[in-house]
Structure 1
Amino acid sequence: MGIRHQCAVAGVLATALTMLPLGAASARQNDSQGNSDRAVHPVIQEYGGVIPRSDDNTNQPDPDKTYHVIFDVFHGGDDPAKLNPQLDRLARAVNVFAAHGVDPDHLDFVAILHGDSTRSVMTEQAYQKRFGVANPDSDVIAALEQAGVQMEVCGQALSRRDISEEMVNSQVDVTPSSLVTLAMYGQKGYAYERF
């Protein structure tokens, strides 16, 4: 392994480690855990609600900056008939920045789906045929894409799950591998979030 590769890997890992506490805290928040009647949805309606807070501390996002984040969406829900909670969490990331005054044009968010979340990217027809239910993730994927989130899926994960590219939602780009995608965005300096 060359020194440049080692440095790139170290950079991705360092970024990942700095983002873990934020990710762990975010995982505990979920509209289904209550307070959904108080949730607001400033950008993505129906998904990723955030509870308004009056925090006055130094950890507020700067609305003049652009935030570059790669979301490593590995986990999915257990029930194919229910929304993948990690996609709801991704919508929450968009909404929480917006709730703090950051325009969606200042969010450079990329989501790479793989692992258990791979099935989320299937077309309605393919999902219905495989699972016998409508794809509960189609609407949130459309909403995320409309909000400017670049949606990608790991080609290796598709192959391992016998999902052809024709079975992939047209709003999702197929990449060679999540490993390649994560390394590429890490080298570009994107912050890393693991879902």
Structure 2
Amino acid sequence: MNLKRLGISLFIFFAFAKISIAQEELTGPLIEDFGNTISVPNPDLAINLDEDYQVVFDIAKAPDDPTSLNSHFNTAARFLNMHVAAGVDKNRLKPILIVHGSAAFGLLKNEYYKEKFGIDNPNLALLNKLHSLDIPVILCGQTAGTRGISAKKRWEHTILALSAMTALIHYQNLDYALISF
């Protein structure tokens, strides 16, 4: 009986050991300090390395805690990092962020974010890294108007659209896949 228990215990140990070795947390390779991912060796749904990954992220919510990075902005970094780590050429990755609702405050310049929330804007470092990779960040003009986010107050690389709806339709008509939060 003890041999049977030992065998089962060893089986369980090695089964879980394989899982923990097989999946590890990764940083980068494209955007360091943001967008950490988990490795997925040999996924059942294979990645097409010859495909363009055009995606528009519909981002409408801010975190409850204004000291926190907007996790939806960070998801764009995860998208980039995980696909490059999986072997997709970075030039085949074409994400676009469309920001509206409470998420729009994450696009405030630091001085205006500090004026509103009393702290530095935790999103700016990531937004600047996305900009350095030519990732467009588009703000809904309707949200900007109703929330008082003038051109003077916005992060300098913000692109203004008539509305989030207009921008979402535009990019979906160009065959961008929609990821909505």
Normalised TM-score (structure 1)? 0.77
Provide structure 2 residue ranges, at least 5 long, that are not aligned to the other structure.
Answer: 1-23
Identity %: 27
Question: Which 4+ residue blocks in structure 1 deviate beyond 2 angstroms?
Answer: 37-40
Higher relative contact order (CA 8 A, sep 6+): 1
- Opposite residue 37 of structure 2, the aligned amino acid is V
Counterpart of 1:130 in structure 2 is: 116
Is 2:58–2:179's contact at 8 Å kept on the other side of the alignment?
A: yes
Is 1:60–1:100's contact at 8 Å kept on the other side of the alignment?
A: no
Counterpart of 1:164 in structure 2 is: 150
Measured against aligned partners, the alpha-carbon deviations of 1:171-190 in whole angstroms (never above 9, x if no partner) come to 22111100100011111111
1:140 to 2:105 alignment: no
| Alignment partners' CA distance in 1, 2:144 and 2:98 | 12
- RMSD of aligned C-alpha atoms? 1.4
Higher gyration radius (CA): 2
1:119 to 2:98 alignment: no
Shift of 1:111: 0.6
Shift of 1:78: 0.7
Shift of 1:158: 1.0
1:40 to 2:27 alignment: yes
1:76-87 alignment runs, 5 A limit: 76-87=62-73
| Alignment partners' CA distance in 1, 2:151 and 2:180 | 24
Provide structure 1 residue ranges, at least 5 long, that are not aligned to the other structure.
Answer: 1-36
Measured against aligned partners, the alpha-carbon deviations of 1:54-85 in whole angstroms (never above 9, x if no partner) come to 1242x232222211111101121011111111
Measured against aligned partners, the alpha-carbon deviations of 1:106-145 in whole angstroms (never above 9, x if no partner) come to 1111110111210011101111112111000001111122
Is 2:59–2:100's contact at 8 Å kept on the other side of the alignment?
A: yes
| Alignment partners' CA distance in 1, 2:131 and 2:25 | 25
Count of aligned pairs: 158
